[in-house]
Chains A and B, each alone.
Chain A
Amino acid sequence: MMAPPACGSLPAHPGECRFAGPLSPDSLMMAHNILERELSQALYTGGLAGVVAKNTARALNVHFREEEQTVFPLISLIPWLPGGRALPEAEDVQILNYRLAAAMPGLLEDHRIVTETFMDIAEASRTGDGGRLARFSDLLRLHMRTEEQIHFPAAILTGETLEAGLEGHRSLRLYFRRL
């Protein structure tokens, strides 16, 4: 009998995969997967709150995929920062930086819209089945705040540092001004 797969990308349910110790660099993907699973459970909430949540869930799904394609690749290069491994090709990093810069305003706007929508839904349904939505709303805001304050700046810093061999403070200052 084959052993269950390692918990690399989506260890969603007990028995679905085996725990393989420290996670691979997929930890951020897993954080998204966990949130999406929490949301899928919360979507059983009925009424208007459930309908609005389902519509917003689609937007959130698109948003997560966008982050995974623009922010995560640069974050995965953190070990290449000076003092780490040999630098990757500057042109490759340049493309990633360009994509991130193009996506960043939209990502921040998504955060604002999605968190506000879920806060409104959660506020309206803090009791009964809606409690799950409220819990999801809290987890989502915590996740997005951490991205805005740590992961996005880390991606910008890493990208600029690797591209130019400079401490990437120019875009970092602009980013924080935008916040």
Chain B
Amino acid sequence: MIGARTMAPDIAFESSMDLAIPQNMGIAHRAVLYDMWEVLGMGGTGGKTVRGLVERLTAHFHREEELIGSIFSLAGPDAPENIPSPEEEDIAVITAYLAAELRDLREEHDEFRPDIRALLEIAEASYDQGLYDLALRLEVHLSIEEQIHFPAVMYIGRRLVA
């Protein structure tokens, strides 16, 4: 079970609004990973599944932060005043690149889902509310990215280069 605990000090918040959007995304990712690290020592199929997921999620999150974070930061309060307008032919390249990257990220989400389902089933079978919550939070995290963050990034990307 995931017991009562707090997040590690290095991801603790300050009260002021001094975080840029990419940093916030990184914090959300690390919060998910910290929860998973809590159950890394778990035995059996569940432990093996969690360890495999953590390894793949770490690389996946890093990739998301580089792509999505950088686009969001261009639309946020710290965006540079004048973003250079790309040449006509570059626009198609940039939007195609964004679309391809987001499609890849979405496919990776789908590759994680069988493992998340497995964790939910293990949690149900063993009445492990903590593990269930962990798997559910991960699924919700992926869904929010797909339903909000990915389309928003695609739209902002299009607007920035149009």
Chain A residues close to B by CB (< 8 Å): 7, 11, 13-15, 19, 21-23, 25, 27-28, 30-31, 34, 37-38, 75, 78-79, 81-84, 116, 119, 122, 126, 129, 131-132, 134-135, 138-139, 141-142, 145-146, 148-151, 153-154, 157, 161, 167, 172, 176-177, 179
Interface size class of B (residues with CB under 8 A): 35 or more
Total of A-B residue pairs, C-beta within 8 Å: 128
Expressed in whole angstroms, the Cα–Cα distance for A91 and B138 within the complex equals 37
Q: Closest Cβ of chain A: how far from B62's Cβ, in Å? A: 18
Beta-carbon nearest neighbor of B19 in chain A = A145
CB atoms of B147 and A27 under 8 A apart = yes
Is the beta-carbon distance between B5 and A135 smaller than 8 angstroms?
Answer: yes
Q: Contact between A150 and B149 (Cβ–Cβ < 8 Å)?
A: yes
A145 neighbours in B (Cβ, 8 Å): 13, 19, 24, 27
Task: Specify the main secondary structure of chain B where it touches its partner.
Answer: helix
- Asked if A179 and B143 sit within 8 Å, CB to CB, the answer is no
Chain A hits for B75, CB < 8 A: 153, 157, 172
Tell whether B4 is near chain A: CB-to-CB under 8 Å.
yes
Residues of B within 8 A of A119 (CB): 15
Chain A residues near B151 (CB, 8 Å)? Answer: 78-79, 81, 84
The reply to whether A150 and B21 contact each other, CB–CB distance below 8 Å, is yes
Name which of A14, A82, A84 has the most chain B CB atoms within 10 A of its CB: A14
Once bound together, how far apart are the Cα atoms of A11 and B144, in whole Å?
A: 16
| Cα–Cα distance between A68 and B152 once the two chains are bound (Å) | 19
Contact B124 A126 (CB under 8 A): no
Which B residue sits closest to A19, measured CB to CB?
Answer: B120
B28 and A151 within 8 A (CB): no
Q: B15 and A167: CB pair below 8 A? A: no
Most chain B C-beta atoms within 10 Å of own C-beta, residue among A25, A83, A138: A138
Beta-carbon contacts of B4-44 to A below 8 Å, as 1s and 0s?
A: 11110000110101010100110110010000000000000
A139 to B3, CA, bound (A): 14
